[in-house]
Structures are given as structure tokens and as C-alpha cells.
Amino acid sequence: MEEVEKSQTVAGEASKPVPPAIDHPVKMRTRNVNVHYGEKHAIRNVSLDIGEREVTSLIGPSGCGKSTYLRCLNRMNDTIDICRVTGDLELDGENIYSDNVDVVQLRARIGMVFQKPNPFPKSIFENVAYGPRLHGLVSNRTDLDEVVKQSLRRAGLFDEVKDRMEDPGTSLSGGQQQRLCIARAIAVGPEIILMDEPCSALDPIATARIEELIDELRQNYTIVIVTHSMQQAARVSQKTAFFHLGDLIEHGDTPQVFTNPRDEKTQGYITGRFG
């Protein structure tokens, strides 16, 4: 169930944080996004631009709404009955919540990678092949092979799995599984990849590989990442947005946010002073 309303903008209220100078064209434009879980007002009037082919990180303490906001971007919140999303969310200028949007197609354009690697209980090959087949992106086995290889290469996993494509995806290490999930997301040719704490279950080496991968992927994809690690946000993103209690407190160039945040709350959070 989904309910989309045109938000009633209260002038001034929504434009609290000063947006950073966007040097990349805006890929996703969101205005006055509000999310309610039943009675709970989880996101309040968030307006944020996501720049094309750059990494935007969403940070903030647990329960601040960053994951909820992320899940609005590809309508993952639609799957939760009591969740109500209002506001304008546009992908390339088109409202992603309008009635004629095919949610399955939308999620092909806006892929997602989750906190815990969740490969299908199938072979490595099938994990990646599933999406292109489902979406009818390939017409024959040769093309499919090519898409799978290409996706695994882009995810930096191909060399490690090329001789064991028929092994189950779950036989890989945690870091490899996460890269497999990234390959699976890439395989359907998305424009945006959403990542919800993609490294929180990984060791530092596997984390570094994912971060390196994120840096490569931003040449071709727009990436939005939710992370609990501020160091990770600092390392991988060009823009950082800080959420607190459902409000977007500050959104700026990552170097600025981490060296000279404008808001006291941001300062408190990133320096570890948050009560």
C-alpha cells in the first residue's frame, strides 16, 4: 500500500539546511519528504539533492531516519504497510511516486545493497544472471554470460570467482558475498546504487575493497550510502548529509562537513560528543 500526496510546503520550514554548491548535475531531487510509520513521524521535511556520479553519504545516530530516507529513494518503504511517504521525489525530473511508475522498473534503475550480504541460495552465476533474465535484458546465453562477467568485473570479484561460477553464492566470504550483491545490483544496469551500511558486517580489509569499489563505481553510477562509520563517510563520499531525529541538519561537501561543520549538532555528532 502506498499513499502519495503532494506536500504542502510551508515556506522556510523545508529549506533549513543550506544546500552545498552542487558541481554535479542533480540526479535525484527530493523536496519536503515526510515519512510516517503509523503515528511516528520518522522524516520531517527533508529536502536534498543527490548529485549525479558522485557519492552522497547519509550519517547520523541510530533512529535518525537516514535509512528510512534512503529507502524512500527506490520506494522500498512501499513494502511496509504502515509507512506513509509524502513529498516530491524526482529521478531525472520525474516523480518516482506517480501512479504510472512501475516500481519493479524503478528498482532496476535504482539498485540497492544491504547491510548483510544476502546472496540468493543459488550459484554465483545465477545470482548475477537473475536480474538481467528477469528484466529481459538479454536474449541469449552468450549475452547473459557477457553481462554476468562484466558485472562481476565491475564489482571487482571476477578474478576471484571465475573458476567457480557454479559454486553457491553463499560459499563466498562475507566481503566477496557483498561484492556479489553489488555485481547483482549492477547487472541490471542501474543508474543509482543505494547502499545501506554495506560494510558493517565486514572486516577492515573487505571494507577497504568495497570502499575502493565505491570509488571506481562512481565514475558510472550515482551512489547514496548510509553508514555508521563517519570515517567511512569521510573516505568514500563527496557529499555528506547529517540526519538527526528525522531532520536533515546539514548537507555539504564532505571535507567541509568533517573539518568545519556549520551546525552544532553535526559538530557534536562527528566529534563523539553526542549525548
Partner 1 sequence: MASDHIVTSYDEELTELKSKVSEMGGLAEAQLENALEAMQRRDTEIASRTIEADFRVDNLEQEIDQFVVQLLALRQPMASDLREIIVALKISSDLERIADYATNVAKRTMTLAHSPQVRPAHAIPRMARLALTMINDVLDSYADRDTQKAIAVWHRDEELDEMYTSLFRELLTYMMEDARSISSCTHLLFIAKNIERVGDHATNIAEYVYYLVEGKPLLQSRPKGGENEYERLDLPKSQA
Which residue lies nearer to partner 1 by CB, 79 or 231? 231
What is the number of other CB atoms lying within 10 angstroms of the CB of residue 102?
A: 8
Q: Which residue is it, cell 562481476?
A: 152
Min dist CB 275 to partner 1, Å, is 8
Residue 103 grid cell: 516500481
Cα dihedral 222, 19, 71, 10, rounded to 10, equals -140
Instruction: State how far the Cα of 271 lies from the Cα of 101, in Å rounded to an integer.
Output: 42
Min dist CB 240 to partner 1, Å, is 11
Min dist CB 259 to partner 1, Å, is 6
Which residue lies nearer to partner 1 by CB, 76 or 270? 270
Instruction: State how far the Cα of 271 lies from the Cα of 5, in Å rounded to an integer.
Output: 38
Min dist CB 273 to partner 1, Å, is 5
Which residue lies nearer to partner 1 by CB, 41 or 262? 262
Residue 159: is it exposed, middle or buried by C-beta count within 10 angstroms (0-12/13-18/19+)? exposed
Cβ density class 103-140: b for 16+ within 10 Å, e for less: eeebbbebbbbebebebeeebbbbbbbbbbeeeeebee
Instruction: State how far the Cα of 205 lies from the Cα of 228, in Å rounded to an integer.
Output: 17
Which residue lies nearer to partner 1 by CB, 93 or 272? 272
According to DSSP, residue 270 is labeled H
Min dist CB 194 to partner 1, Å, is 25
**Footprint of partner 1 on this chain (CB under 8 A)?**
230-231, 234, 258-261, 266-267, 270-275
Min dist CB 62 to partner 1, Å, is 14
Which residue lies nearer to partner 1 by CB, 125 or 258? 258
Most distant CA pair in the chain: distance in Å? 59
Which residue lies nearer to partner 1 by CB, 56 or 240? 240
